Structures are given as structure tokens and as C-alpha cells.
Structure 1
Amino acid sequence: MATIKAKRFRWKETFEQLYFIGNGSLVIIVFCVCFAAMVTIVESSFHMKLVIQNDSMVPGFAAMLILRELAAVVAALLLTSRVGAGIAAEVGTMKVTEQIDALKMLGIYPVNYLVIPRLVACILGAMFLTIVANMTCLFSAMAVSSSYLGYTPAMFISGMKRFVQFKDLIFAIIKAACFGAVIPLISCYFGFRCESGAEGVGKATTNSVVVGSIAIIVIDFLLSYAFSYLY
């Protein structure tokens, strides 16, 4: 792979992509993870009462599930649907209209020009959005615990401390970085291999979302399995 020189790195394009990822996805992710956290609290309470007739562990269990899995994975899947599809469509359109061939004729390496800025932006954006998603999830879980289960915020935090460690957040950020890396790589791959016509662009977009979602689930399992040895 060609060496990327600092003077050739497209900082402006990277920041534009980062703005597109963060600004456009923040509201969607916050909205979705809030309801995901609420469902987690309600279902956890129902099943714990059903099995052990006590839901005192719900705050801690829900907080652990949110930090380790829920927020990072939901945010990544939403990013795949929105950002991944957008990248695949953009790169695919450039391929169909021969803009990528024009870059090659000008001596510009398409991977450096198109992929790297999006890769860096997606990694940083996914990490930031995962942190926001985690905080939002915990706040929503705390609110539902207070209104639905009768646990005060102090009781929720106390229960959370028994289950959650700071490294759970660190592991979630590492997961987010991996998810953020795989989204543009898969999207650009299908974009570069896009067939001619509108049908080809649509097919590349669909494939990028499907394969990206599967990759996120598989990577999440592999990372969770690896992190289990670090607790």
C-alpha cells in the first residue's frame, strides 16, 4: 500500500466527513438508544421478578449491558445504515460516472483520496457517538428505573457501581473504533466494485449495509470473547 504523506492528507475532507457523521447521526442515535435502554430496563425487571421474584439487580445489570454491548452496537448499526449506505452510494456513483478513472489518470491514488479521510472520520465519529450513546442510555435507564421501578438515582448509581467498571467504557470505545473502521472499508469496497447504472449503485448500497451489519455483529462477538479474559 502506498505511503500516505502528511502534506497529501485531506484534512478538510476528513473534517467534512466527521461533521456529516456526527451532526447527521447524533439525533438518530440518541433517540434510538434511549428507547433501547428503556426496553432493557422494563424487560430485565419483568424477567427477574418472574424468575427470582426480585428486581434489585436490574440497575446494575442494565448498566453493565448498556456499557458492554447495547450502546456501541446500536450506534454502529445505525451508522452502517446511514453513513455506510451514503459512502457506498457516493463512491459507487463516482465509479459509474468514471470519476475514479479520472483520478487515476491524474496520478491520484483513489484509496488515499477517498477511503482514508472517510476511514479516519468514521473511527473518530463512532468513538464520540458511542460515548454519547452510553451516557444517554444510562440517563434513560436511570429515569425509567426511578419512574417505573421506584429506584432513586442514588440507588441506581449504587447498583451500577457493583456491576460496572471503568474499563467497560474503555472496551466499548475500542469496539466503536473497530466498528467505525469496518463501515467505510466495506462501503468503499462495494462502491469501487459498483456495476454500471442506477441498479448497480442501489445494489452496492444494499450490499454495503447488509455486509457491514453482519461484520459488526461478528466483530462484536470476537471482541466480547477476547475482553472476557481481561475481567
Structure 2
Amino acid sequence: MIALIAETITGIFLPPSRRKEFFQQLYFVANKSLLIIVFCVSFAAIVTILESSFHMKMVIQNDSMVPGFAALLILRELGAVVTALLLTSRVGAGYASEVGSMQITEQIDALRMLGIDPVNYLVVPRFLACVLGGIILTIIANMACIGSAMLVSSSYLGYTPSMFLTSMDRFVQFKDMVFAIIKGACFGGVIPLVACYFGFRCESGAEGVGRATTNTVVVASIAIIVIDFILSYTFSYLY
């Protein structure tokens, strides 16, 4: 894995630049995942604000801080993490099965015989597309979450959009969005690295491809949670 990471980072700066593959993968990562991510994170935001209101009323008999608290939670954690986990289950599984199938059908060996570096051809475009796609989808997911939370606050909790934004302004800072973007980029970069790692090590047969796909989803999900903890702990010193 360390060798793959090093080769991928190095391959970013080495020719040839595979722009066509990059844009194809960016379309697959960002455009094809957009609707499912917006749908899921919107409902996650609704649940978050409803549960926050319920428990805050139970403890302090007042939910006036719910809009700001929910917006802060959405920007710092919910949008980036839920987006990354959804990308893992869709994009990571797809990459692992694709590369694994190429491995067991000896297509990767054929690339080497043609003088084409498999890491430069397969991993680098997917890595760059997932990093950029993770950033784009994290921004859109956060906007969708804030919009859903604002809608629920207005219709269910009785807070108008202007009251929601005022409360949000007290809690949220611009660097919260910057930190969310950094998380989105890091999470996006993890997915193709893990997927291609298990794809390159895929064993023959349908069972081998299935095992590589399962391992990718499990390991990438764990890695995202661990990286989220590390980044959140690091960012806590920057407030």
C-alpha cells in the first residue's frame, strides 16, 4: 500500500498526462453519484436537526440553538463523512471489481508488456478524479444539508430562514467550510488507492473479485472514519 501511494503521488507529476481518462473518471465519480448523495445527505440532515431539537428540549427546554448547532455539525462532519461513505460503496466497489477483473484476465500484465505503467494508467486518473470529485460533492452535499435543515427548521421548528442563517452565523466560521473541503479531498483520495490495491491483489475467479470488492468497502470505510478522527483532532487546534 505504501509503495502504491508513493507511485501514485509520483505519477501525478510524470508524463503522460491522461486527461481523457481523468475526465471519464470524474464524470463517473461526481456526476453519476450526485443524485444519490444529495438524496441521502438531505435526509441525514433532517434527522440530525429533528433529533437535536428533541434532545435539546428534553435537557434545557429550549431549542433556539438547534439551527446553529446543526449547521456546525453538518459542515464539520456530516456532509463530508456521509458523502465519502456513499462514494466508497459505489465508486470504491466499482473500481475494485473493475481492476480485479483486469488482474485475473491478465489485462494488467498486457499493459506492462506494452510498456504502459498500470499505476499511471489506472490509479493516477482515478485518484485525481476522486480527490476533485470528493471536493465538489462535499460542497454540494453541505449546501443540500443546509437547505434541508433550513426547510425543516422553517416548517417544523418555526424558525424562519433568516433566523436560521443568523443562528448559523454565530456558530459557523468560513474555515469550517475549508476544513470540510480538506476532508472531502482526503476521503476521496483514499477510495481509489484502497480499491486499486485490492484490485491488483485480486485472486482468480468470481469469488476473488467479490472478496476484493468486499475488502475495499470495509477497509476504505474504516480508513475514512480513522482519517476523520485524525483531521478533526488536528483542526481542533486551529480554532
Sequence identity percentage: 75
Pair 1:191 & 2:199 matched: yes
1:183-222 superposed matches below 5 A: 183-222=191-230
Taking structure 1 as reference, are residues 32 and 4 closer, same or farther at Cα in structure 2, changes over 3 Å only?
closer
2:166 corresponds to which of 158, 162, 165: 158
Counterpart in the other structure of 2:60 = 52
Whole-Å Cα distance in 2 between the matches of residues 169 and 119 of structure 1?
22
Pair 1:142 & 2:150 matched: yes
Letter in 2 for 1:53: Q
Counterpart in the other structure of 1:167 = 175
Whole-Å Cα distance in 2 between the matches of residues 203 and 113 of structure 1?
24
Whole-Å Cα distance in 2 between the matches of residues 43 and 170 of structure 1?
26
Whole-Å Cα distance in 2 between the matches of residues 58 and 3 of structure 1?
46
Is the partner of 2:203 in helix, strand or coil? coil
Counterpart in the other structure of 1:75 = 83
Structure 1 ranges of 4+ moved more than 6 A: none
How far is the alpha carbon of 1:176 from its aligned partner? 0.4
Instruction: Give structure 2 stretches of 5+ with no counterpart.
Output: 1-6
Pair 1:124 & 2:136 matched: no
Query: How many residues of Structure 1 are paired with residues of Structure 2 in the alignment?
Result: 231
How far is the alpha carbon of 1:7 from its aligned partner? 4.5
TM-score where L is the length of structure 2 = 0.95
Pair 1:223 & 2:231 matched: yes
How far is the alpha carbon of 1:160 from its aligned partner? 0.2
Pair 1:12 & 2:36 matched: no
Is the partner of 1:126 in helix, strand or coil? helix
Whole-Å Cα distance in 1 between the matches of residues 134 and 110 of structure 2?
31
Aligned partners of 2:42 and 2:145 also within 8 Å = yes
1:87 corresponds to which of 76, 80, 95: 95
How far is the alpha carbon of 1:5 from its aligned partner? 5.8
Whole-Å Cα distance in 1 between the matches of residues 73 and 236 of structure 2?
14
How big is the alpha-carbon RMSD for the aligned residues of Structure 1 and Structure 2? Answer: 1.0
Taking structure 1 as reference, are residues 186 and 3 closer, same or farther at Cα in structure 2, changes over 3 Å only?
closer
Aligned partners of 2:12 and 2:124 also within 8 Å = no
Letter in 2 for 1:35: F
Counterpart in the other structure of 2:33 = 25
